[in-house]
Amino acid sequence: MNYKTCSILCFITTLNTFAGPAAKTVPFTQVIKEGGWPMGVLGLLSAFATFLVVYFFITLRENLLMPEEFQTEAEDAANTGNIDELSNVCRRYTSAGSNIIGSAAQMMQINPDADYHVIRSIIEDEGSRQANSLWQRIQYLMDIAIIAPMVGLLGTVLGMIQAFVGLQTDFGAVKPIALASGVSKALVTTAGGLIVGIICMLLYSYFRGHVSRLIAVLEERCNTIIHHMIFNKIKSP
C-alpha cells in the first residue's frame, strides 16, 4: 500500500469518526415539545382559527343573509302596497335582509308620508350596522394573524434567554446541550408563529373578498325591494 492510499484511508477514517452515526429524523411531536408552552398557545390559536373558518363557511352565505323565500314574499307584499304585510314578513325571518327591510317598513308604518330620502337613510343606517357585524366576525382572523407571530417572537426571546443562561452556567464545563435546547426552542416557536399567522392572513384575505361580495348582493336585493316600495307608493291602509 503506497503513501497516497494510506493518506486517503486515514482521511476517510477521520471523517467517519467525527461524523458519527447518521442523523435521525426528529418526530413532529418532539419538535412541538421543544417549543415549550408558547407552542401550546399557538395550538389553541390555530384551533380557534379552524373553528372560525368552519363557522364562516356555514354562516356567510347569500341564502342566510337574504333568503330567497323572504325576498319573494317581501317583493309580493311591496307590489300589493300592503305595508303591514311587509312588516309581518320581515318579522317572520331572522336575517340581515329582513332587519334592513323591516326597519324601513317600521318607519313607513309610523310615518306613512315619509319620502324616499328618509326611507333611504333608514335603510343605509341599518345596512351599515349589518355590514359592520359581518366585518367584525372575520376581524377575529386578523387578530389571530397578528397575535400568533407575537407569541412566536415571545418564544424566540425566551429560547435565546435560556440559551445564554445555559452558556453562562455551563461555559466552563463546555456543555452545548443547553445552548442547543434554547436555540431549538427559539426557532420552533418562530416558525410556529409565522405559520399560524400567514395561514390566518390568507384566510382573512379570502373572507374579506367574500364578505364584500355578500354585502354587494345584499345591497342590490334590498334596493330592489325599496324600489318596489317607492314606485308602488306603499302606505298603511
How do residues 64-93 score in pLDDT, each as one tens digit?
888 888 888 888 887 777 787 888 888 888
Q: 1: which residues sit within 8 A by CB, 6+ positions away?
A: none
Measured distance CA(65)–CA(207) in Å, rounded: 15
Give per-residue pLDDT as tens, 13-32.
443 443 444 445 545 465 55
Total length of the chain: 237
Q: Can you give the pLDDT at residue 178?
A: 54
| Residue 230, C-alpha cell as written in the block | 317607492
Is pLDDT above 80 for 236? no
HSE (side-chain half, CA atoms, 13 Å) at 119: 26
High-pLDDT (> 70) share of the chain, %: 71
The domain segmentation of the chain, as residue ranges, is 28-231
Q: Can you give the pLDDT at residue 7?
A: 43
Q: Can you give the pLDDT at residue 28?
A: 45
Is pLDDT above 60 for 4? no
Q: Can you give the pLDDT at residue 96?
A: 86
Q: Can you give the pLDDT at residue 30?
A: 56
Mean pLDDT of 178-188: 65
The residue among 66, 113, 9 whose CA lies nearest residue 213 is 66
Give per-residue pLDDT as tens, 127-160.
889 889 899 999 999 999 999 999 888 887 877 7
Distance between start and end Cα atoms, the chain: 116
More reliable by pLDDT, 159 or 45? 45
113 pLDDT band, cuts 50/70/90, is confident
183 pLDDT band, cuts 50/70/90, is low
